[in-house]
Chains A and B, each alone.
Chain A
């Protein structure tokens, strides 16, 4: 990492830690959701941005993670922090298994298969034989965790810091994964799958594992999101969520780790801004924002930032 990047990261971290003491509890909650989305987007970006497998159904893994957390807490009395690795593990397996048949599909055909997963999810969650666990249409209400060890922060602030810590951990792991041997192999598959295989990359295994890891990230995000919102219900996880995640990685920047954070800010705040601008047609305003972003920053916000930093550096020299 360059010196500029280290300084930027330190400033960002300080700001992130100070944030819940400056803004209202509601804003703190919103920023918790930004972190949650950032983890989900990072997961989708590993699959779509880095490995070239498009998914229009990642909302399904988000939902699976969320329900894991809700069921573990509400039906089994598990502490909230246990649900994070549990949701991750369940989604890793689910993602890997979904990735196996998906190997036969590419491009738009894979998009359709994942779309099927995305549209089916809310209805599967309402399935009446599962109602005992899922709560059916009613969903599950869960309690907000209080800060432990008598820390002088309220529940919203605590959850923000907890989510921040998980986010940092997940970003670090992804950064490690993607800058080394595995990251190169994933990108090689995306750029030229036959050549990658001729170089000794086990495409089928790596693509399935990429699906699993991607689902793991999105599932962890789902669990954190459920705890933050204190509620899960089938219709919170409709196809719109899956599409929004895709919007997030494209606006934030494909195949970029920091892009996940920019994308998360976009999908959390731009709908609110659009709503303030026009109560009558907020999605039209949202659409204008979206087109504006991709028009002005064709490689995503992360690409634009990278370009800006590179330009600044060349001025210094």
Chain B
């Protein structure tokens, strides 16, 4: 995949600042995500990792700075257009459509790649039927890829936590994103599942030609799969580099272990 790396970053975070009341959540954070890379975003609780994710998906407004994706700024793009641009995401504390089936959840994930509004659907116009069938086939293919085919018709809320996390991953992939944002994909998973997750993320990156930005507390996972690691603390970037360099970085050691 080294040959696939282009010179232009896919995601460019520049001097982003976010404030909630008097609390500074992000204070001038900058970093780039190169296409084809897996980038790990690490830092202690409250460092601003999820806030940054929410800025990229436009759930939060930036007070300062800019976020560029594929060469143009995201800050003027409305929330519901983000998925169509090619940014998919999962959520820290699962944000599934709980009363709906696994298949329907994944099909909603494909909303931005399908067509047919109220009128076309009420009349079942041929293009709406075709679009629906295509979405169903794509969703089934993803369920097979992620080993979820056997629970396709099951209501999401009836599934164990680990399976729900995979459903969220499938839902995020359904929009065929260029950039996948994973917010703590390993949280709540057992040791064995975490091992598999690393291989899964790498596999998906190759297979679907993804760029991945992940927030994760599980250091072994981040360090083993990331091409690049960005460390935040108190809303500032304290280190970035290849995983081996960042792991030894004194600022990071201090942030996690306190001053020795």
**A residues bordering B, Cβ < 8 Å?**
173-174, 176-177, 180-185, 187-188, 191-192, 194-203, 209, 213, 255
Contact = CB atoms under 8 A, between A and B. Distances in A.
Contacts of A195: 91, 95-97
Contacts of A213: 118
B80 interface: yes
A202 B79 CA distance: 8
Interface string B157-188: 00000000000000100010000000000000
Given A182-B116, A198-B89, A187 B97 contact: yes
Contact of A199 (B99, B111, B123): B111
Given A194-B59, A199-B171, A209-B118, A181 B100 contact: no
A201 B80 contact: yes
B218 interface: no
B82 interface: yes
Contact of B111 (A173, A181, A209, A255): A181
Contacts of A180: 116, 121, 124, 128, 132
Contacts of A202: 80
Contacts of A181: 107, 111, 114, 116, 121, 128, 131-132, 135
Contacts, number: 93
Given A177-B121, A184-B108, A192-B96, 16 more contacts: A176-B124, A180-B124, A180-B128, A181-B116, A181-B132, A182-B117, A184-B104, A184-B107, A188-B97, A191-B98, A194-B59, A195-B91, A197-B80, A198-B95, A200-B111, A202-B80
Contacts of A200: 80-84, 111-112, 175
Contacts of A177: 118, 121-122
Interface in B201-241: none
A237 B98 CA distance: 37
A198 B57 contact: yes
Nearest to B112: A200
Contact of B82 (A184, A187, A192, A198): A198
Nearest to B174: A199
Contacts of B122: 173-174, 176-177
B109 interface: yes
B97 A198 contact: no
A43 to B, nearest CB: 13
Interface in B108-159: 108-109, 111-112, 114, 116-118, 121-124, 128, 131-132, 135
A173 B83 CA distance: 29
B121 A199 contact: no
Contacts of B96: 191-192, 195
Contacts of A192: 95-98
A198 B108 contact: no
Interface of B: 57, 59, 79-84, 89, 91, 95-100, 104, 107-109, 111-112, 114, 116-118, 121-124, 128, 131-132, 135, 171, 175
A68 to B, nearest CB: 21
Contacts of A187: 97, 99-100, 104
Nearest to A178: B121
B82 A196 contact: no
Contacts of B80: 197, 200-203
Given A198-B79, A200-B84, A185 B108 contact: yes
Contacts of B91: 195
B97 A196 contact: yes
A279 to B, nearest CB: 43
A303 to B, nearest CB: 12
B202 to A, nearest CB: 24
A198 B121 contact: no
Nearest to B157: A191
A193 B112 CA distance: 15
Contacts of A184: 100, 104, 107-108, 111
A201 B97 contact: no
23 contacts: A173-B122, A173-B123, A174-B122, A176-B123, A177-B122, A180-B121, A181-B121, A182-B116, A183-B121, A184-B107, A185-B111, A187-B99, A187-B100, A187-B104, A191-B98, A195-B95, A198-B59, A198-B89, A200-B81, A200-B83, A201-B80, A201-B108, A209-B118
A165 B89 CA distance: 46
Most buried by A among B83, B109, B121: B121
Contacts of B171: 199
A183 B80 CA distance: 17
Most buried by B among A177, A188, A200, A202: A200
A198 to B, nearest CB: 5
A182 B123 CA distance: 12
Given A180-B132, A197-B79, A191 B100 contact: yes
Nearest to A196: B108
A143 B171 CA distance: 55
Contacts of B112: 199-200
B142 to A, nearest CB: 14
B111 A201 contact: yes
